[in-house]
Chain A
Amino acid sequence: MTARAHPIGGVILAVEGVSLAFGGVQALREVSFDVREHEVRAIIGPNGAGKSSMLNVINGVYHPQQGTIRYLGREYHDMDSHEVAASGISRTFQNLALFKGMTVLDNIMAGRNLKMRTNLLLQALRIGPALREELEHREAVERIIDFLEIQAYRKIPVGRLPYGLQKRVDLARALAMEPRLLLLDEPMAGMNVEEKQDMCRFILDVNDQFGTTIVLIEHDMGVVMDISDRVVVLDYGRKIGDGTPDDVRANQAVIDAYLGVSH
């Protein structure tokens, strides 16, 4: 690999001993791993392994029964969504969670809500600071629109776009938050080869240009091995592997899990 613009730094997120259960279903069992600044960290594992649950714990949608999460030096038992967003973590969703009735532009603009602070009265009159703020953030959003090559769809209600483009808008909304840590839940699922290549390129560009740290859940092993620095492997809620793509590929437990050897 060529030298990176943002060399991998220290640990910014550490998950320690997290367990999460839904009634009788144990989605996560004492999972620990860490994420280093500027790296691309993949989480892989069979369906139902607990990958999405892990992201949901990190950004405060699910609240684990046990374990802690250290992020930027602070320790949390469970995270609060608003606080997580404010501290620079954003994400995309496995099953699209876009605002269906809103245009592409408004969906992405919504991603900047935390940065917009004018009060209700100024917004109602749309004068001075309120108007300036709208335009300023519109410019930032336009840069993201250009970056993800979705200029043609700005004013279209997002529900009318094909699936692959919706995935891109989901990413755009997350990027609009200018995250320090970006969590991507199967960003390439259901895409054809070209769309996957585009998405891969966008993810690498985000990492490269903005130095954004990325945690990526992905099923396509080829993609994972290509773009990630380190990989966590989950199976039945348990961590069974952790290391570079080559380490993980050589790990017997991982091979068994993927080949469906009985436990």
Chain B
Amino acid sequence: MLYRENGQFKSTYASDQQMLPIAQDRVFMVLLLAFAFIGVPLVTSDYVFLSLLIPFLILTLAAIGLNLLVGYCGQISIGHAAFMAVGAYAAYNLVLRVPQLNFLVVLLLAGLIAAVIGVLFGIPSLRIKGLYLAVATLAAQFFSDWMFARVKWFTNYAHSGSVQTAPIELFGWTVETPVEKYLFLLAVLVVFTLVAKNLVRGHIGREWMAMRDMDVAAEVIGIRPVYAKLTAFAVSAFYCGVAGALWGFVYLGSWEPLAFNLNLSLNLLFMIIIGGMGSLLGSYFGAAFIVALPILLDQVPIWLGVPISTATSAHLALMIFGALIVFFLIVEPHGLARLWAIGKEKLRLWPFPH
């Protein structure tokens, strides 16, 4: 069956507004999900889960969060790891101090706390834009670096400053092995992706994009910048808060404040630039790329029989990121997701390109 939408007439607006209006896309999505939930666990090694898939899933979630703010609402932030830190420490303290809470509730609360902090640090966006806003968001980063290192209550007065967590438990299920962690994270990510998709195709999403594309016109049609920008900060920080809690509990297990430093914030930005601003799919591509590239640079030379030192491969990774970021910023601001879309458009016409 060729990839076509011809002949698939939409008789109602409801069917036209489906997430995937083309039947082939729906089939593809079902197969992809089946593969991710059933196929992958059957064929994948623990190493791949731990070093590749688990960080990929969590970082995708964080990248979606950042993308909602930067790519959809047009407000830059270079301090988003701060909201991950808030989420992680909020979850840590909730589990520590209210142990009877279900972990899903902990996750939501951690996200909500991050959302509140996100709104606070979003307030400057009401007055300033672009570079100035970017610098202002750094304040979030420095503040969280300082707070979680200095205010000992957050780390429960641990001497080393690092906190430990036990494997999470959900309705009697202990999420412990790599496969279990993967399945849990995958389920969370699927749900959060759906929610993000609903938001960006609903009226709040249109308000965000309107602010991004032409703020004067947005105001003239009645959109309130305060509401649009602060909801974007809130939702974005919520996503990053949840991602931060997962990063701490599921990926790291134990961590210190440095785990959420500026480096992570910048990596999140690289993900959405490379993957594609204003694209949920792009967040997946970007996170996959950032997680996979260093590992490939470590492994490929070994397969090829020309091992290079870890230092060299780390430098190489940085250089490749740098070059790609410049490339995407100049040539294709919509990133890998746009290249994917172009490919799909070609496929729609294939094999008759004219």
- The interface of chain A, by Cβ under 8 A from chain B, is 59-61, 81-82, 84-86, 90-91, 93, 97-102, 106, 109-114, 116, 118, 120, 123-126, 130, 133-135, 138-139, 142, 173-174, 177
Contacts and interface: CB of A to CB of B under 8 A. Distances in A.
Given A85-B221, A98-B217, A125-B195, A120 B204 contact: yes
Contact of B13 (A111, A113, A116, A135): A135
Interface residue SS majority, chain A? helix
Contact of B203 (A60, A81, A100, A113): A113
B111 to A, nearest CB: 12
B351 interface: no
B63 to A, nearest CB: 18
B209 A123 contact: no
B207 interface: yes
A97 B210 CA distance: 10
Going nearest first, the 6 A-B pairs with the smallest beta carbon separation are A85-B222, A97-B217, A99-B213, A114-B222, A123-B202, A126-B198
Interface in B213-253: 213-214, 216-224, 231, 235
Interface of B: 13-14, 17, 195, 198-199, 202-204, 206-207, 209-210, 212-214, 216-224, 231, 235, 278
A130 B17 CA distance: 13
B198 A123 contact: yes
A82 B224 contact: yes
| A102, A133, A138, A173 interface centre (most CB from chain B within 10 Å) | A102
A142 B13 contact: yes
Contact of B214 (A60, A61, A98, A139): A98
A93 B217 contact: yes
A98 B213 CA distance: 8
Contact of A61 (B203, B212, B220): B220
Contact of B221 (A100, A102, A113): A113
Contacts of B231: 120
Given A123-B202, A135-B17, A113 B207 contact: yes
Given A113-B207, A113-B222, A120-B231, 16 more contacts: A61-B220, A82-B222, A84-B220, A99-B213, A99-B217, A110-B203, A110-B206, A110-B218, A112-B203, A124-B195, A124-B199, A125-B198, A134-B203, A135-B13, A135-B17, A177-B222
B212 to A, nearest CB: 7
Contacts of A126: 198, 202
Contacts, number: 103
Contacts of A86: 222
A201 to B, nearest CB: 24
| B14, B218, B221 interface centre (most CB from chain A within 10 Å) | B221
Contact of B220 (A85, A106, A116, A135): A85
Contacts of A100: 213-214
Nearest to A158: B213
Given A126-B202, A135-B14, A135-B17, A82 B219 contact: yes
Nearest to A127: B198
B204 A123 contact: yes
A78 to B, nearest CB: 14
B202 A134 contact: yes
16 contacts: A60-B219, A81-B219, A85-B222, A90-B220, A99-B210, A99-B218, A102-B206, A106-B209, A110-B203, A110-B218, A114-B221, A116-B203, A124-B195, A134-B203, A135-B14, A177-B222
B195 A138 contact: no
A183 B14 CA distance: 33
A123 B203 contact: yes
Nearest to A81: B219
Contacts of B216: 61, 97
A172 B283 CA distance: 33
A125 to B, nearest CB: 7
Nearest to B278: A101
Nearest to A125: B198
Nearest to A84: B220
A59 B202 contact: no
A106 B206 contact: yes
Contacts of B219: 60-61, 81-82
B198 A110 contact: no
B13 A139 contact: yes
A111 to B, nearest CB: 5
B238 to A, nearest CB: 10
A126 B17 CA distance: 12
Nearest to B204: A123
B221 A110 contact: yes
A113 B209 contact: no
Nearest to B202: A123
B54 to A, nearest CB: 25
Contacts of A133: 203
